[in-house]
Amino acid sequence: MNWHGPILTDSGGFQVFSQATSRRVDIDGVTIKSHIDGTMHRLTPEKAIAIQENLGADIIMALDECAPPHGREYIEQALLRTHTWAERCLAARTRQDQALFGIVQGGVYPDLRASSAEYIASLGFPGIAIGGLSVGESKAEMQVVLEVVDRILPRDKPRYLMGVGTPEDLINAVKHGIDIFDCVLPTRLARHNAAMTWQGRINLTNAAFTRDASPLDPTCDCYTCRNFSRAYLRHLVLAKEMLSATLLSIHNLHILIRLVRKIRQSILAGKFEEFAAKFFTESQVRRKT
């Protein structure tokens, strides 16, 4: 695909979660029905590792079961499978040039999250992911989970929070030692005609942008903001041109990357807490206006 930067692949755990009506999970793996042609496929920890080794990603993930956030009895069963599969993934790996991350699960239950964090950390993975968040739980429940695992996970290994990507969530997670994020939010917003700006989100279908010659965000230096106006982007949206989603994706990703750079700079300067406090204060002001 001609990308020469770092690559991270998932094991399929979230895809199994998203296909809840067309899959069967057991202690050995998952049988899942193709949404394309109805054929049945078998995914095991060993196969998940083999696929990711073949893809050659820099960071690969252990197969886990991303259970719904609530329902303790089922989550306990899913957690046993996740821990068993983590061991099998470690045993199945053949490449040492890839960083295999284990995944902490446990829903919204602090004791299950704590036991999972302790167990996954004990297996010696070079990095640890926190899965099963941003899948229906409240922000308060996410906060509790992050606080629990922060106290347990080793400080000398990277932490990856899966599927979380709003600016507020990024800053809050960094407070709890999170280093890596992934999220579909910037491109999903773009597909729904929305742009992230430092003043808040804007929707390009709004008639107020019909003749607005300004960029999406006057402080942004991304390709989209340097070359296209809000009015033109709105025209693309109304004309249902695919270019609108592309240009909005470029912009939204740039906003998040710039935010993370600012976070990193504030950490290096010893001013992260000050940066976070200012950001949340300004966010409250934006919501009120």
Active site residues: 10, 182
Q: What is the dihedral of CA 25, 26, 28, 33, to 10 degrees?
A: -30
Torsion, CA 142, CA 146, CA 148, CA 151, rounded to 10: -170
Burial class (CB in 10 A: 0-12, 13-18, 19+), 2: exposed
Under DSSP, is residue 111 helix (H, G, I), strand (E, B) or coil? Answer: helix
d(CA 52, CA 57): 7
62 near 89, Cβ under 8 Å? yes
Residue 206 DSSP class: -
* Single-letter amino acid, residue 31: T
How far from the centroid of its chain's Cα atoms is residue 240's Cα?
28
User: Which helix (H) or strand (E) element contains residue 80?
Assistant: helix 72-92
Closest listed residue to residue 101, CA positions, set 186, 224, 179, 10? 10
Which of the 8 DSSP states describes residue 135?
A: S
